[in-house]
Structure 1
C-alpha cells in the first residue's frame, strides 16, 4: 500500500535538501504530535547510515522504536535528490507491518522560481497494512502542514559559509576584494 504527498515548499531546493538530511529538522517536523528520541547517537546530518529512535505521541505515550536506514539517490541528471529510508518499525503497532520503504524527494518547483517541489512516498506491506494505512495517511497530512509551516524558516547559505571557512582574514572575501572593515582599527 502507498501513501503519497506532493507539495511546493517556500524555500530553495538546496535549503529543503539540507533540512531533509537533518535529524533535528525531522524532530521539528513531527513535533509536537510525535516526539522522536535517539536510541543510538544521531548524526548532525544524515549520511548513508543506520540509527534507531523511540517515538512517543506528544512525548508522553510510547509508540515503539524505529530503525532508520538511510541511503541517497542524489546524483540524478534531472536534478531530483532523493533520501531513502529502508528502515523498519521494530516495536509497537507499526512493527506489525511486513515492509516499510520511505522515499523523500526534492527538486526545483516548475514555474515557481526559488521554491521546492517536495514529494514523499511511503510504501508499506503486510497483513496489518490495510489497518495502519489511514493512521499513517493522517500523520502524512500532519507532515505536509508542518513542512509548509517550517520551510520558510529554514536557512542555509553555502556561499557565505564557504567564504568564511576558506578565508581567515575577515576583511577579504574569496576574490581578494575588501568586504568588511575590522572594528576597532
Structure 2
C-alpha cells in the first residue's frame, strides 16, 4: 500500500533539500511521537551517506520500543532545482519488522516565490497485517506533515 504527502512549503527548495540529508531533520519530523536513537558508535553522522547505512532504534513517545531500522539515505540532484532523497534501508526488528516492503522517497522541487513542493511517498506492505500497519503509518505521516511545515518555517526564519 502507499502513503503520499504533497505539501507546498514556504521555504526555499535548496534549504529543505539540504535539511533532508541530515539526521537531525529526520529526528525532528519524527518527534515527539517517535524518538529515534542512533545505534552506531559515535552516534548520528552530520549527513546520511550512501556508503554508510545507519542503524537506529525507534521508540513510541521515547518509551515503547517499536524496533530497529536501517536508514540508507541516497541523495540525488535531479536537475531543474529538484532533489530526491530515497531511503533504501529497511525495518530490522521489533514491530517495525512486520513490514516486508518498505520504500521511502522524498522529492523537493521549486515553486514560484521561493516556495517548495514537497512530495513524500512510502510504499509499505506487511502481508495480512498490511491494512493495520498502513493505518498506523498513515496516522504517523499526517503528524509528519505538520512537522514538515514546522521544519520549513524554521529553515525559512533561520535564513
The TM-score, its normalising length taken from structure 1, stands at 0.78
In structure 2, the residue matched to 1:80 is: 82
Higher helix content, 1 or 2: 2
Which of 1 and 2 has higher RCO (CA within 8 Å, sep 6+)? Answer: 2
- When Rg is computed on C-alpha atoms for both structures, the one with the higher figure is 1
Higher strand content, 1 or 2: 2
In structure 2, the residue matched to 1:166 is: none
What RMSD over aligned residues (CA atoms) do the two structures have, in Å? 1.5
In structure 1, the residue matched to 2:103 is: 101
1:51 deviates by: 0.3
- Of 41, 44, 52, which residue of structure 1 is paired with 2:55? 52
Structure 2 distance, partners of 1:117, 1:138, is 21
Structure 1 distance, partners of 2:5, 2:94, is 24
- Number of positions where the alignment pairs a residue of Structure 1 with one of Structure 2: 154
Structure 2 distance, partners of 1:141, 1:61, is 20
In structure 2, the residue matched to 1:36 is: 36
1:92 deviates by: 1.7
Residue 93 (structure 2) pairs with residue 91 (structure 1): yes
Flag structure 1 segments of 5+ consecutive residues without an equivalent: 158-185
Structure 2 distance, partners of 1:117, 1:56, is 30
In structure 2, the residue matched to 1:136 is: 137
Contact 2:126–2:133 (8 Å) recurs in 1:
no
The TM-score, its normalising length taken from structure 2, stands at 0.90
Flag structure 2 segments of 5+ consecutive residues without an equivalent: none
1:62 deviates by: 1.1
Off by >6 Å, runs of 4+ in structure 1: none
Contact 1:81–1:107 (8 Å) recurs in 2:
yes
Structure 2 distance, partners of 1:29, 1:12, is 18
Structure 1 distance, partners of 2:79, 2:56, is 33
Corresponding residue SS for 2:114: coil
CA deviation vs aligned residue, 1:155-183 (integer Å, no higher than 9, x gap): 676xxxxxxxxxxxxxxxxxxxxxxxxxx
CA deviation vs aligned residue, 1:111-139 (integer Å, no higher than 9, x gap): x3111110000011240322210100000
Structure 2 distance, partners of 1:31, 1:97, is 21
Contact 2:35–2:62 (8 Å) recurs in 1:
yes
